Amino acid sequence: MTEADYFQQGITELQAGRPAEALAIFQQAVANNVATPRCWLGLSLAALTQGDVPEAEKAVDAVLVEEPHNMRALIIKGDILLGKDDFQNASSYYNLILRLAANLTDIPPQLSSDLDRVETRLQQLGQMFQQHLFDRLSSAGYRRNRASTRFNNSLDMLLGRKQRKDPGHKFPQAPHAFYLDDVPYCTYFPNEQLPWLADLEAHTDLIEGELNALLRQSSDRFSPYVHSGLEQPQNSGTTLLDSDDWTSAFLWQDGMPQPDVLASCPETAALMADLPLTKIGGLAPSVLFSKLDAGAKIDPHTGLLNCRLICHLPLTVPPGCGLRVGEDSRETERGSSWAFDDSVNHEAWNNGEEPRTILLFDVWRPELDSDERHLITSVLEAVSGFGKVG
């Protein structure tokens, strides 16, 4: 049978109230390697009707691999995540659904009903998150009348109580996770205000030596820098996802030490120990060797926070490598470090004939005092931990 035959028979069985028969038909299409996204979607609906959530999620994930913006699949995925109490990722899917729906002009009645339900659930999740956040802040000692004005403003923005002012920049600060109000705009941060960068540059040979020793042990230490886990809706371009052109070996990843790499790079680890790394549970710091292959480009993007700086120490640099942050472009030079605000739109390239490798890590912006760092850490750990499964 053709894919169309399987699909029509499966839908007929579903409409007749025979989900078990429909499930078997769609599974046969998969077994015969003729299933398309609509067959996978039918399989997911049949499995849900049968109460087989794992099978339904596997099927809807297959749809989203081929069609990341399939509205019906996104709704099913969001509902499945919500049913597993994975509130954070369910919210991500629901928000993407509403953003996509805003561009639709002709919405069928069934989809309109589903969108109303999605919006209601998002409001409920928002109320749950707000309670979770204030519980966490209270435990951290937060009192509004004692916190800085810019932190209170940022908290209000996070909760939708206040809007950001238009900063008037072509490439404004646009962090994904948290925006700290009233942080001076910069692209590259002045090196003279980060005196420890000079000491790091002085150890370029030592750090590169540990990198080379790591590579001699195993080239498998490096893996794609950005991972496209299906728990996160794919609402951007795919050139940064799971690419062999941009790989990394982490010493710390999302705040978690990576013992094997750390053991191979003890001097580099010791140099990091005295730096103002952004220590945020489940999120930061990340310290890594980042490798960009010859001819590769990292497309324009923005990072998570505007209250941190991303630091680069170039180690192996062929001619033709560079970084643009906002409207400021610079050529990459071995041993010449910089720190930049990655919440500003930026991109990197390697037009050379050999890989470019840097040491990359993130630190707090020096303008923040200890109280602000403590409260921001509490907020971000609350965000990271809200309804997160696993």
List pLDDT tens digits, range 231-271. 445 444 445 556 788 899 999 999 999 999 999 999 999 99
- Cα distances from 189 to residues 192, 329, 331, 344, 363, in angstroms, run 9, 13, 16, 12, 12
Share of the chain above pLDDT 90, in %: 83
Encode pLDDT of 118-143 as tens digits.
Answer: 999 999 999 999 999 999 999 999 99
Which range among 32-46, 86-100, 218-232, 280-294 shows the weakest confidence by mean pLDDT?
Answer: 218-232
Residue 242 has a pLDDT of: 62
Of residues 307 and 106, more confidently modeled:
307
Provide the pLDDT for residue 234: 47
Residue 236: per-residue pLDDT? 45
- Cβ(53)–Cβ(24) below 8 Å: no
**Mean pLDDT score, 306-331:** 98
| Per-chain mean pLDDT for the chain | 92
322 pairs with which residues across the strands? 331, 349
Read off the pLDDT band of 8 (50, 70, 90).
very high
Q: How far apart are CA 336 and CA 197, in angstroms?
A: 9
Q: What is the mean pLDDT of residues 292-305?
A: 93
Task: Report pLDDT digits (tens) over 308-317.
Answer: 999 999 999 9
Inform me whether the pLDDT recorded for 218 exceeds 90.
no
Q: Kindly give the pairing relationship between strand 287-292 and strand 356-364.
A: antiparallel
Alpha helices in the chain (DSSP H): 3-15, 19-31, 37-49, 53-66, 71-83, 87-101, 109-139, 149-158, 196-202, 204-217, 259-264, 266-273, 370-385
**Both structure tokens of 284:** 């930061």
**Per-residue pLDDT, 226:** 62
Please check the confidence at residue 219 and state whether its pLDDT lies above 70. Answer: no
Range in 105-109, 304-308, 348-352, 370-374 the model is least confident about: 105-109
Q: CA-to-CA distance for 357 and 290, rounded, in angstroms? A: 5
- What's the pTM value of the predicted model, to 2 decimals? 0.83
> 3-state class of 165 per DSSP?
coil
pLDDT beyond 60 at 358: yes
Side-chain-facing half-sphere of 82: CA atoms under 13 Å: 19
Over range 347-373, report the average pLDDT: 97
